[in-house]
Structures are given as C-alpha cells and as structure tokens.
Amino acid sequence: MKGIPRKLESVLQKARQRIFGEAVDLKTVFGDFKAVLESNNRALEVITDMGEKLGGEYIFDIIYIKKAYEELYADIRNSVEQFNSLSHSRYPIGNTLDRIDAAIKKALYEEAPAFAGRILFFGDITWEAAREVGGKNYHLSQMANSLDVNVPSGFAVTAHAYDEFMRHNGLDAKIEALNSVGYGDDDLKGIREAISDGELPEPLGAELDGAIEKLRAALGPDAFISVRSSAEEEDSEFSFAGQFATVLNVPLQSDAVRDAYKKVIASLFTSAAVSYQKRLGYAVGGMRMPVGCVPMIDAVASGVAYTVDPATGKERLSISASWGLGESVVAGKVDPDTYVFEKMPALKLAEAKVGRKESMISSSKAGGTEESATPEDMRARACLSDGQVAELAERALKIEKYFRRPQDIEWALSADGNLYILQARPLRAASSGERGKTRSVEEFSGQYRALVHNKGNVVQKGIAGGKVFVVKTVDDIEKLPKGAVLVAKNDSPQFVRAMPFVSAIVTDTGSTTSHMASICREFKVPSVVNTREATRALRDGQDVTLYVDDDGNYAIYDGLVDEILELIERTGRSLEELYEFRKKKYIMRFISPLNLVNPLADEFTPEKCNTMHDILRFMHEKSVQGLIDASMKAAGKGALKRLEIAIPTGINVIDIGDGLSDSSGSTVKLEQVQSEPMRAVLNGMLRPGAWHSEAVDLNPRDFLSSMMRMQDLTASVDQSTYRNVAVISREYLNMTLRFGYHFNLLDCYCSEKAANNHVYFRFVGGATDISKRSRRIRLIAEILKEFGFISSTKGDLLIARLSHIEKAEALRVLDMSGSLIAFTRQLDAVLGTDSDVERFKQAFLAGNFGIHS
C-alpha cells in the first residue's frame, strides 16, 4: 500500500519497544513446551488404556485401576510442573488437579466423604457435589445454571443429611444387622416404619426449616412443592425409574415437608427397590438417598420427551403428552398424544397422533394428587399447540446437546403457557451391538402363526421364548416362574422384581416413555407395550416366541420356534451391571470425558476443568499460547537473518533448533530452510499468482478511515510484533508479518504425533472502511472453516485454531495458509459488496488467484 503515515510508524515503534522489552530464552521456553507435550501424551495413553479396559473386553480387578491411576496422576502432576514453568504459574491449574484428584481418591479408596453440607439450593450446586445431591438434583441444577430453559428452582437435601438422619435414629445398625442375618419383606417394612417414626436431627431440621422459609418468601405462603428422590446413582448409568417415591403437591410447611422427606428416603427399602439395587450389586442400605424439594408446577399438560428412538437408536425425537400431571404418562396409565420428529438434516415433524387420554392426574387444593376421568371434550383434543410442540422439541435438543448423549426428559406446561423441564436423565437406547440379527419378521410370518403382530410399540428389541404368565395383580409377581413371558393389562415399575427371571414383557396399555420401559431397556428385557390385545390374544400357560427385528417390527408366534430362538446371543449377565465394574466407570467420569472443546470460548478456564482430560486439553492450548507469546517477544532479539525469496516479504528468521541447514551469514535462501512448517507456508506464498505486487490506491474515503482508526490499531499492538519475523525449528514456526496496514500471526507445531500438532492463525487490520475490512475477515474465516479451523471474529480481528491433525494434513493447511496470506493481503480494497465474499472464496478454493485483476 502507498503512503504509511508517520504517526502510525511512531505508534508501531513504541509498541515494538514495549513488546521486546523483556528478554526471553526461547530455546528454554521451547524445551518446556515439548516437555509439556510429552507428559500430556503419556497421560493420554494411560487414559486410553483405562478406557479400553473398561470397555468390557477385558477382565481386571481394582488393583489394575489403582495402579493405572497412580501412573496417570504422576504424568499429569509432572506436566503441571512443566506447564507452570512455561506459563510462569499464571493459571491455577494445580488447584484444579488437586480438586479432581481428591474426588477420584474418595471413590477409589472409599474414603469418608469430606462434604458436610445438609442443604444446597440449585444455584449453589457445583460439580464436586454431584454425588452428594444425587443425579436428579444435579442434572436439574446444571440446566438451571447453564441452560436457557425453565427449571423450577428448589433445593437438595444431601446424602450427608441422609447419613445423619439414619445414625440419629439408630437405623444404620439395624440395616447392618439385616445384611448379616438375612431379611424378608417384613424386615424391610420394619425399616420403612422406623424411618416414618424417626426424628430429624436438630441441625438438619433447622436447616430444612430455613430452606422452606426461603422458598416461601420467593413463592408465597400458599405454595406447594414436590419432594423427589435423587439417589446417588439415580439418573446416571441406571435410571432407577419409578423405584423410589415422589411426593407431589406438598404444602410448603415444615411438618408436611418433613413427612414427605421421610417417605422418600423410606422408599429405598421397598421390596421392588431393594430387588433393583440387589441386581446392581448393592446390599440393603448400600445406596444413600439425597432428596430434591422443587416448586410444584400446576400443570395443564405434562409428559416425556426422548431425544432418540430407544428401541432402534435412530435419530428420531419423540414427545408424549397428556392432560394434568405427568404421572399418568410415566406410569403408563393413558394413551397419550405422541409426536415424532426427524432430527436430521433439520428438525422436522414426521408423525403426530392424538391419544385417547381417558384419565388424568391433577393437583389437589388440599395437597396431594387426585385421579379423575378426563372430560369428554378434552379427550380427543391435543394437549399442546403446534408451536408448543416445536418449542419443546427445540429445548429437548438443546438439553441433549448440553449433556452430549440421548436424554429422557420430563416436562410440564403451566397455566400461563410456560414450558418447564422437570427432569433430564440419560436415555439408554439400542446400540449397534443389539442390531446384529439379519432376518426380518416378515420372513418368519409366512411360516409360523403370529398371535400378535406389530400392534403397539416396541420398548426393547430382542428374542424371547417361554410360557405366558398373565399378571392380574402385583401379588402375582411372586408366583411368576423363571423364563416366563410376563403379560399384563398395564405396565408397572413393580415388574422390576421379576426382570431377573422373565424372558419378555408384553402389555395391553402403556408407552415407551414409562418408568417400566426405561427399566426394560436398562436390563435388556425384550418388551412390547400398548398392544391393546395381549391379555386376550395370549393364554396363560401358552408357549410363545417373541421376535423383534432390526427395523423394530415384531411378532409373537404360537409355540416355541427353534429357528428363531437359536438366534439368541447367550452372553450371560452384562459386565456393566456388576457393581465393581460400574464403580470403576464412575471413577472414569472424573478422568476421560472432554468438556473443554473450544479454546476460544470464555469458559476455557481452569475452573471449568472437570476431568483429567480437561486439564490436559487446557495445558496443551495454553502452552501453545505461551510459546506464541514467547516467540513474539524473542522476535526483537537474537541473530536475525534476512530471508531472500522471489517475493518482497521482508521476513527475518531466528533459528532455535535445526530450522536452517546453514546458520552462517546474514541472509537465508529458500533451499537452506529445513523447517517443514516454514517451507510449507513459503510454498503457499510463492504459488504463482497468489502474491500481487501492484500497489492498491486508496480512495479518499478509505484513506480517511485508515487515519481515523489509529486508536484501534494501537489497542491491538500487545498481541502482535508487527515485524516480519519467523522463529523456526525443524517442527515449529512462529511467523509475525506486517504488510502495510495488515498484521498476520501464524504459529504451528508439526510433528509425527497428531496429538501435538496445531495451527494458530491471527489476522487484524486494513486501511479501508469497516464494511470492507469486515468482508475480508468473513472471507478468511469461511476459507479457514473449509479446512477445519474454529474461529472467533470481532470487527476486523480474526483468531482461528486447528489442532490434533496428522502431519501431512498440517503441512497441507500451512501451504494453504501461505497462499491465503498472500491472496488476501490487499483484498479489502476490492471487496465492495457482500457477494464478492463468496466469489473470492470460490476463486481461492479453485486456485484462481488472478481474480484480483
């Protein structure tokens, strides 16, 4: 560009003096950087090994997991020390490591919980308190604190409070005695009665009363709440759906809330709940019961949303809705309205059905709930408007995206038209491993007589054969023979008591979103609901075969069909159902998940690191930034050698290790450059047509704009050297460039190990008006996006990153980056309209650099 104002030169000179004022030993910094990467890589290898061992392919014991974690911790601790040296202890990452290490060791060595809080309001629940408040409370608090969705804001009574209550009433000793000598239903009933008669310890009672008063002040004296179970592992890998009590519509008064609290914790000791816990490896009393106290939504309509099809695993979002409270849906008591959305490529309503909704459950003005027949004029009317259905689907997708896995969501619509999320938990859906059968139902239907065929809804795929046992009352469950096909009019979570023994479950009514359905999927019990005719079509004692194919079609055939039953995979008890295995998987939640994804986001901080993997990710990205900063400061020091190439870049080179084949002399030729990333960038810059030497005349408006934005340029000087310098080694390049009013920074590490590699691209500046400069920023960002970069833009500033790429791909990207720097160098002056952005983008991607002219 022509005519750089003297004022700007003076500003940039002062900036260089500030930046280069601190001496930097760049070789030492580079050594620290590589040491951090090496320690990180060793730690990631340990995490990978632990993940593979926990995948179910290996048999191992707790000794392995302890030894592996000791190795992992040593590597990460070493990496933290090297990172602190590199970053001058700028980030409190050591505190984060100590926090996560304490949680892992508490689980690994079964140390007594250090947590001592009794009451936590949702806004105060942090990640470390997840187990203390239980899965249900924790998920609600996450949505309340981090997502733009309506969540009733209440409080949790913690597991620590539960321990205090049990000790205070002598129940821990009674339960220990039961596990020693054995127990029956009467013994469990005795525990429940003792809980009901128990007294809250004075400190717990005082804190609970204080929390109640705080809610009364916010909601009003006549408010009601729901008191809900939130057991330690509830709504985690296993949902415990319908196993524990929820007391709805509780007056916000001390006595009523205390009674409801005791009712909820007593539900740990029902026969069905104990059977469920026993199946998962828990002794009686082995699980603790946090409790949630949540404002009651006086629901006009309620229901459930599933973000995938649980029977097939297909990306289809379904919504079930009924009038009143959602209990009628989750208990499988009604034929609800159903809506099915295709999720890909965009959310689109595919199916809609208005159910009969013959009954409904409502809040009673005196407290509690009441069931009644749905008024005739409401039965055939949809509960939700089209807009409300669409809004609910969008929120369900948002929740799924936040938790990064399929979700089972309970919701309610209030009288004022607001949608509330009452619960979100992981949804267990069919996996690819459950879709291994290759024959369709239709193939068999031509050979064998189908008693029931494709009526209702498949809950869990599978194959089963056995004698029909019709359950008419809950007491019949006790008589159910092993291997029977349980047939009932309604579905019920009480059937969990039979799930270790039954081969399948089939019901006349119910929905795929009921509590029983959730449990069938967890235990992989083949099941079909809402058939309308199972109790009529299937006779007690009759031999039948149930077959559900890969497409979700099913038939129940007369007799035991050997050809179908031979397809059953006899895998025995699933490893993931074993308590020790789940305990180790619980430990892995502190180790392997990666939550810090975007290094350009505001939440990319040590405080947001929740796993060891997050710590490694944070240190890697900030180590890159530390190396960039150090290279920028070193650019004004050391032995600068001028690079002589065919285009006038004015680049000076600093070699910090095998970047040049010959370090003698004051100039460097292209053939002397051994730095692979540097050669790739130069190859891109030298591509025929990419570099345009012709000066661009600024029109008066653009020249005035350049003079007016002096302060903007000055504000950015601490982030760029504004001197054409390349700091290089064989695998590393940090290049700072200034061409007129345009300022580039390119930093990259390019090695044989993909986990170490990164490319950082920064651009700011231009002499034209803001609209043209912004168009160039958008053009650069869109081109970089084509190559996998994530970027952040603000005005005429762009920062983009790419990491974890193979060496060959990194070199390809760097070659492109060199061409991009050359191609866009003076391009803002000719980007007159928005349509020019797409035109120049396509030209660049096609290698048509002559479009400038």
State pLDDT tens for residues 522-569.
Answer: 677 889 998 999 999 999 999 999 998 877 889 999 998 888 887 764
**Percentage, residues of the chain above pLDDT 90:** 24
CA-nearest of 710, 836, 696, 699 to 776 is 836
Res 576 pLDDT > 80: no
In the sheet with 419-426, reading across from the earlier edge strand, the strands are 348-353, 337-342, 316-323, 299-306, 407-414, 419-426
pLDDT at 549: 83
> 592-623: per-residue pLDDT in tens?
777 776 677 777 889 888 888 889 889 888 88
Distance of alpha carbon 17 from alpha carbon 8, whole angstroms: 14
- Is the model's pLDDT at 571 over the cut of 60? no
Pure H helices in 472-611: 515-522, 534-537, 562-565, 579-588
Q: What pLDDT shows up at residue 726?
A: 85
The number of residues making up the chain comes to: 853
Q: Which residue has the tokens 């079909």?
A: 528
Phi-psi region at 324: left, alpha or beta (left = phi > 0; alpha = psi -120 to 50)? left
Specify whether the CB–CB gap between 457 and 530 falls below 8 A.
Answer: yes
> Which H helix or E strand runs over 397?
helix 386-403
Element of type H or E holding 204: helix 202-219
Range 499-514 average pLDDT: 82
Is CATH 3.40.710.10 correct for 432-560? Answer: no
Band the pLDDT of 261: cuts 50, 70, 90.
very high
- Choose, from 160, 515, 613, 620, the residue flagged as catalytic: 515
CA distance 582 to 591: 14
Does pLDDT of 270 surpass 50?
A: yes
Residues paired with 303 in a beta bridge: 321, 411
Task: Say how far apart CA 296 and CA 422 lie, in whole Å.
Answer: 10
Q: 733 CB contacts (<8 Å, ≥6 apart)?
A: 675, 677, 678, 681, 726, 727, 746, 747, 748, 750, 814
The pLDDT of residue 710 is: 41
Q: What are the start and end residues of each CATH 3.30.470.20 domain in the chain?
A: 299-426
Confidence category of residue 433, pLDDT binned at 50, 70, 90: very low
Give the best-scoring range by mean pLDDT among 52-56, 59-63, 134-138, 275-279.
134-138
- The three-state secondary structure class of 713 is helix
pLDDT for 578 equals: 43
Sheet holding 652-655: strands in order across? 667-669, 641-644, 652-655, 725-728, 732-739, 742-749, 758-765, 797-803, 790-794
Model confidence pLDDT, tens digit, residues 129-187 = 777 888 888 888 888 887 878 888 899 999 889 999 999 998 888 888 777 777 778 88
Predicted confidence at residue 442, as pLDDT, reads 83
In the chain, residues under CATH classification 3.30.1490.20 are 119-295
How many whole angstroms separate alpha carbon 386 and alpha carbon 395?
A: 14
Cis peptide before 345 (omega within 30 of 0): yes
**Per CATH, the architecture of 299-426 is what?**
2-Layer Sandwich (3.30)
- The CATH homologous superfamily of the domain defined by 119-295: ATP-grasp fold, A domain (3.30.1490.20)
**Residue 273 and residue 493: Cα distance in Å, rounded?**
10
Bigger pLDDT: 310 vs 519: 310
Q: What is the pLDDT of residue 722?
A: 41
For residue 14, pLDDT beyond 50: no
Residue 676's pLDDT is 95
pLDDT of residue 61: 57
Residue 494 has pLDDT above 70, yes or no: yes
Percentage of the residues of the chain whose pLDDT score is greater than 70:
83
Query: Where are the domain boundaries for CATH 3.50.30.10 in the chain?
Result: 432-560
Show the tokens assigned to 397. 């997708």
Q: Which of 228-232, 234-238, 353-357 has the lowest mean pLDDT?
A: 234-238
Amino acid, single-letter form, for residue 563: E
Residue 815 confidence (pLDDT) above 90: yes
State the SS3 of 237-258. Answer: CCCCCCCCCEEEEEECCHHHHH
Contact 90, 107 (CB under 8 A): no
Helix (H, G, I), strand (E, B) or coil at 361: strand
Mean model confidence pLDDT for the chain: 80
Q: What is the pLDDT of residues 96-141, one digit of tens each?
A: 999 899 888 877 765 544 556 889 998 888 776 777 888 888 888 8
Name the token pair of 444: 């068999």
Say yes or no to pLDDT of 276 above 70.
yes
Q: Judge whether residue 583 has pLDDT over 70.
A: no
The mean per-residue pLDDT over the stretch 749-764 comes to: 86
Mean pLDDT comparison of 143-157, 176-190, 305-319, 670-684, highest-scoring range: 670-684
Strands annotated E in 325-368: 337-342, 348-353, 359-363
Average pLDDT over residues 400-424: 87
322, 357 Cβ separation under 8 angstroms: yes
What pLDDT digit, counting tens, does each position of 634-664 carry?
A: 654 456 788 999 888 888 888 888 899 987 7
- Residues 445-462: b if buried by 16+ CB within 10 A, e if exposed: beebebbbbebbbbbbbb
Task: Judge whether 160 counts as a catalytic residue.
Answer: no
pLDDT at 462 over 70: yes
Predicted local confidence at residue 634, as pLDDT: 61
Position with higher pLDDT, 394 vs 656? 394
Global pTM reads: 0.53
